[in-house]
Structures are given as C-alpha cells and as structure tokens.
Amino acid sequence: MDIIEIKDLKKIYGEEETETSALAGISLKIAKGDFVAVMGPSGSGKSTLLHILGFLDRPTSGLYFFEGKNMLDYSDEELARLRNKKMGFIFQAFNLLPRTSVLENVKLPLVYSDVASSEWNVLVKSAVEKVGLEHRINHEPSQLSGGEKQRVAIARALVLNPLVIFADEPTGNLDSKSGQMIMDIFSKLNREQGHTIILITHESEMAEFASRIIRLRDGQIELNAS
C-alpha cells in the first residue's frame, strides 16, 4: 500500500526575476514500511521535499496524495492535526526544551493530541524504552550527550506511534559512534515496528541503512533505486 504518492510536484520561491525552482516536477511513491534515504548536494531540494511531504509547506503545483487522499484539499488546520497524529519529526538540532526533563520533552506532542492525559506517562515511558533511555527519563538535556539528546528526539517523534517518521540529517551533529547508534535505532523501528522512515542525509554510510535511495539534483530525481 502506498502511503505517499506525489505527481509532478513543483516548488518555486520568489517572483519573476528572483524566482528559484526548488523542486522541478518530482513524481514518486513511498509504500508503507519503506525505509527511504533522500540524498543530494546542498540546494538539490531535499529539505523542500521533506517539508512538503511533512505538511510543513505546500507545493506551487502538482499533486500530493497521503493514504490515498489529496492533501491539497485540506486546510492548514486539518494538515496540522494530521501531522500531529500520523507523523514524527527528527531534526539535526534536536530541538529539545532546556531545563525540562526527558519525560516532559517526550510528552510534548501529546499535549496537542486528543489522547487522554491519563495515558500520557505510559506512552512516554514506552517511547523512551524503545530508544534505551529509561535511566535518563528525569534528566535535563544539559545532562545528556549529543547521541542521548537525539534519542530523546526520536522518542518524542515515536510517542504517538506515527505512520511516517521524517529524519532530517539526524546524525549531522553527532560523532560516528553516536550516529551509528541512531541509525541502528531507525533500522530496528523500521524492521520490528514497521514504521515508514524518510531520511534526509548527505552521508553515504548513513544512506546505506535504507532499503531505497532517492538522489536529487537541481530539484529533480537523478536516481530512484532499491
């Protein structure tokens, strides 16, 4: 089953003389359970594609179907609700709240969900266990290593059991050992939990964890290989 299908997707920034084409007509499908790495040089359109697929931005033209439904028919508010419920995001910069415990950081997406507050702590503890940080659950980010901070960010992305996990250069701020550990977690989540993972990376060794590589250049797909 295809979770994501895009057809001739284009994204143009600016107007007339200053306009820049970030995506120049991309078409692709991503099935449930896929682990896809999106690669390409700086300015190739990787982050723009992720932002559109994750409902953080809208395309200039083209079609985007998520679970068979045309996303262009949805309001921004509807997309925000869907994003909270169906998607998890991990970024290079961790984006954790300082002076706030691991538990409270991971709990954040639940605050904006329709999940009963009585269930929050159980869901948080389950997500934290999946990334092996139970022993750090009451620590603050300043007491954690870079790799541990990224594992907290993964737990936060997992807490609502999303259909798709978007990871934008998740190992970019980490040493190679910590990066390897993060990628092992993604592999396990994909293999054992069935999460669909879309990874943005410029590192070949990280892309090798994926079952499929999509390479972008100048806003177009240069390679789409399993």
Count Cβ atoms below 10 Å from residue 12 Cβ, excluding itself. 15
From the DSSP assignment, how many helices (H) and strands (E) are in the chain?
A: 7, 10
The secondary structure of 153-188 as a DSSP string is: HHHHHHTT--SEEEEESTTTTS-HHHHHHHHHHHHH
User: What does pTM read for this prediction?
Assistant: 0.92
pLDDT at 1: 79
At 43 the pLDDT is: 87
Q: What is the pLDDT along the chain (226 residues), one digit of tens a residue?
A: 789 999 999 999 988 778 889 999 999 999 999 999 999 988 899 999 999 999 999 999 999 999 999 998 899 999 998 999 999 999 888 889 999 999 999 999 998 888 999 999 999 999 999 999 999 999 999 999 999 999 999 999 999 999 999 999 999 888 889 999 999 999 999 998 889 999 999 889 999 999 999 999 999 999 887 6
**Which pLDDT does position 201 carry in this prediction?**
92
Grouping H, G, I as helix, E, B as strand and the rest as coil, residue 75 is: coil
Separation between Cα atoms, residue 107 and residue 154, nearest integer Å: 12
Nearest-angstrom CA–CA distance, 24 and 148 = 38
pLDDT the model gives residue 192: 87
pLDDT at 122: 94
